[in-house]
Amino acid sequence: MIEELKHPYERFLRRERIPHIWCEGCGNGIILGCFAQALDELKMDLDRVVVVSGIGCIGRVSGYTNTDSYHTTHGRPIAFATGVKLAKPELKVVVISGDGDLFAIGGNHFIHAARRNMDLQVICANNFIYGMTGGQHGPTTPLDAWTTTTPYGNIEHTFNLVHLAAACGAVYVARWTALHVRRLTESIKKALQKEGFSFIEVVSPCPEIFGRYNKMETAIKMMQWFKDVSEVRHFSDPAKAEITQKRIVVGEFVDVEKPSYSRLLKEMTAKAQMQEQ
Partner 1 sequence: MSEDKGKVVHSGKRFMMGDIACAEGAIAAGCRFFAGYPITPATEIAERMAQRLPQVGGVYIQMEDEIGSMAAIIGASYAGVKSMTATSGPGFSLMMENIGLAVMTETPCVIVNVMRGGPSTGQPTMPGQQDVMQARWGSHGDYEIIVLAPSSVQEMFDLTVEAFNLAETYRVPVMVLADEIVGHMWERVNIPRAESIRVVNRKKPTASTKEYAPFRPSDDLVPPMVCFGEGYHFHATGLTHDERGHPQTESAEAQQKLVQRLCDKIRKNADKISRVEKTMLEDAEVAVVAYGIVSRAALSAVRKARAVGIKAGLLRLITLWPFPDREVAQVARRVKAIVVPEMNCGQMVREVERAAKETPVVFMSKLGEEPHKPSEILETIRRTRK
**Stretch 147-186: interaction string toward partner 1, x if CB under 8 A:** ----------------------------------------
Binding segment for partner 1 (CB under 8 A), chosen from 40-48, 146-154, 177-185, 199-207, is 40-48
| Cβ-based nearer residue to partner 1, 51 or 184 | 51
Near partner 1 by CB under 8 A: residue from 28, 37, 66, 185: 66
Residue 74 CB, nearest distance to partner 1 (Å)? 8
Q: Which of 86, 167, 181, 220 binds partner 1 (CB under 8 A)?
A: 86
Q: How far is the CB of 96 from partner 1 (least distance, A)?
A: 14
- Cα angle 163, 37, 42; round to 5: 90
Binding string to partner 1 for residues 223 to 252, with x set by CB under 8 A, is what? ------------------------------
Check residue 36 for interaction with partner 1 (CB under 8 A). no
Q: Is the dihedral of CA 198, 199, 202, 208 positive or negative?
A: positive
Show Cβ contacts of residue 55 under 8 Å, excluding neighbours closer than 6 positions: 71, 72, 73, 74, 75, 101, 132
Q: How far apart are CA 69 and CA 52, in angstroms?
A: 6
Considering beta carbons, is residue 14 or 233 the nearer one to partner 1? 14
Determine the Cα–Cα distance for residues 54 and 75; give it in Å rounded to an integer. 6
Q: Which is nearer to partner 1, 6 or 273 (CB)?
A: 273
Beta-bridged to residue 173, according to DSSP, are 199, 254
- The Cα 229–Cα 242 span in angstroms is 11
> Strand runs (DSSP E) across 112-197, as ranges?
121-126, 172-177
Question: How distant, in Å, are the alpha carbons of 78, 164, 236, 255 from that of 173?
Answer: 16, 10, 11, 7
Smallest gap, in angstroms, from Cβ of residue 106 to partner 1?
Answer: 9
Does 63 participate in binding partner 1 (rule CB under 8 A)? yes
Largest CA distance in the chain: 70
Residues near partner 1 (CB under 8 A) are 14, 16-17, 46-48, 50, 52, 60, 62-63, 66-73, 75-76, 79-88, 90-91, 108-109, 111-112, 265, 268-269, 271-273, 276-277
